[in-house]
Amino acid sequence: MKKYIMAFDSGTTSCRTLIFDSEFNIISSAQKELKQIFPKPGWVEEDPNEIFSTQLGTAVEAMAKMNINANDIAAIGITNQRETTIVWDRQTGEVIYNAIVWQCRRTSKYCDSLREVGYRDEIYKKTGLEVDAYFSATKIKWILDNVSGARERAERGELLFGTVDTFLIWKLTKGVHVTDYSNASRTMLYNINTLEWDDELLKLMDIPKSMLPEVKETAEVYGETAREFFGEEIKIASAVGDQQAALFGQGCFKKAEAKNTYGTGAFLLMNTGDKKVESKNGLVSTIAWGIDGKITYALEGSILIAGSSIQWLRDDLKLIDSAEDSEYLANKVSDTEGCYVVPAFTGLGAPYWNQYARGTICGLTRSVKKAHLVRATLESMAYLSNDVLKAMEEDLGALKILKVDGGASANDFLMQFQADIIDREVVRPKDIESTVRGAAFLAALGVGMFSSIDEISEKFNIDKNFIPNMAAEVRENKLKLWRKAVSRAFDWAEE
């Protein structure tokens, strides 16, 4: 009897592998950071071969820690940073350019031109997405237009495109070229109404259809790993974009249930059931998952910078030694001394979609010390999340509670401030690794360890509830100054 599920969390700043037992307790884990490459201001890349070797290395390490072999593992589930774009040679597997990361803004001007000539509404109706450099389509086009010989090779059928899940599966299986509904829906090329790659959008972007992977369900067996990697074959039985994985891993299986994940960015998703919701407030519609022939949709607000602002404090400004220090320092002061940080390092996502916004610090005086700046940076995550939540509530009605997960959700100061600012209860699970847990649940579903989603509902435990206790006039004053600060960040990088 195979006892374990192995889940890959191929994130933006690190790759991790977690191994779960049959009760979905984590019994082993390994993690390694990824190097990000910044060739120009606003450009973000990674080395696809490093992504693969790092992910594989953490898998081997996690297995070795508990002396687990391939025969013990029922399935691998993959969750991944979304939109990040990789193009490689169909025969050799050689990548033709670095992975262009979802945060990269290099195609902003091309996106502007698409909007200016009137394509915004058509693209939104078909894909559920705003026209933005965030998504994969314009990144693929950039590679074909800027890498020598790439377009000719693509038109001859020699090149393949994939998001990170697709690249990992292709490498592990030696040639299975697939993705799932959740990842396909983030490319700005996939029609989420008809569930097919959209020929008109491919023509608009000048991308050959032969490059694209086959789209499969979110929980099914896609293939088996080549024997050379783990000694024996292991089934790969789920692939899911990280934010949809967190929605699943939080048990948001019913319509109107929502979660916010605080990772590199922050992502607030609400389950909208079997209906795509067209937002009037700057949110995107996306496919949450496809299981047993049924598609579940979600409404999403994407905050481009969240946890990475804490990395900025740690690695670049050297104001803290570790992410945990941010909570200690934030609690050393009673407020931010009127200081507001808008971490728009790569523009602003939902609900603003301002590609040319840049990071801004407002309200600086000589009385602002290190602790105030750290606290203001933490508070910015809660303010940005509130902006998205209010937009979501305007589209779909009031939310009762907000489920939270991701690394920064371990910060009690931030979670209490989040509850205060949204004036809603915030609920944190015992296991804040909802993203990778979602991938594990889906892989187990893919190999028949669960007969239905209902069985998974029994696997959730709450760690802590945060109840709002901020006076209404204090909240409103803070939000008024926050809105003022955000307005100062708009359009800074526009020529």
186 in a known ligand binding site: no
Beta bridge partners of 141: none
79 in a known ligand binding site: no
407 in a known ligand binding site: yes
CB 230 within 8 A of CB 70: yes
261 in a known ligand binding site: no
Alpha-carbon torsion angle 137, 55, 238, 256, nearest 10: -70
Give the pair of three-digit tokens for residue 172.
Answer: 């592990």
Beta bridge partners of 401: 425
Rounded to 10 deg, the angle between the 108-116 and 120-127 helix axes is 110
82 in a known ligand binding site: yes
* DSSP one-letter string for 274-298: TS----SSS-EEEEEEEETTEEEEE
Q: Which amino acid belongs to residue 457?
A: S
242 in a known ligand binding site: yes
89 in a known ligand binding site: no
* Cβ atoms within 10 Å, residue 150: 19
Tokens 């594990």 map to which residue? 440
Report the alpha-carbon distance of residue 459 to residue 477 in Å, rounded.
41
10 in a known ligand binding site: no
Report the alpha-carbon distance of residue 100 to residue 85 in Å, rounded.
5
3-class secondary structure, 122: helix
Give the pair of three-digit tokens for residue 386.
Answer: 């509130």
> Phi, psi at residue 430, to the nearest 5°?
-60, -40
Helix (H) or strand (E) holding 401: strand 401-405
Beta bridge partners of 132: none
CB 193 within 8 A of CB 244: no
250 in a known ligand binding site: no
Q: Which of 207, 75, 78 has the alpha carbon at shortest distance from 136? A: 207
Give the pair of three-digit tokens for residue 420.
Answer: 């205060």
* DSSP one-letter string for 186-217: TSS-EETTTTEE-HHHHHHHT--GGGSPEEE-
134 in a known ligand binding site: yes
Report the alpha-carbon distance of residue 126 to residue 120 in Å, rounded.
10
Q: What angle do CA 304, 310, 311 make, to 5 degrees?
A: 90
| Burial tier of 94 (Cβ tally within 10 Å: 0-12, 13-18, 19+) | exposed
CA-based max dimension of the chain: 65
Cβ neighbours of residue 147 closer than 8 Å, sequence gap 6 or more? 87, 96, 97
91 in a known ligand binding site: no
12 in a known ligand binding site: yes
Residues belonging to the binding site for sn-glycerol 3-phosphate are: 12, 82-83, 134, 242
State the binding site.
12-14, 16, 82-83, 134, 242-243, 264, 307, 311, 407, 411
Annotated binding site for ATP: 12-14, 264, 307, 311, 407
Q: Would you list which residues are annotated within the binding site for glycerol?
A: 82-83, 134, 242-243
Enumerate the known binding-site residues for ADP.
Answer: 12, 16, 264, 307, 407, 411
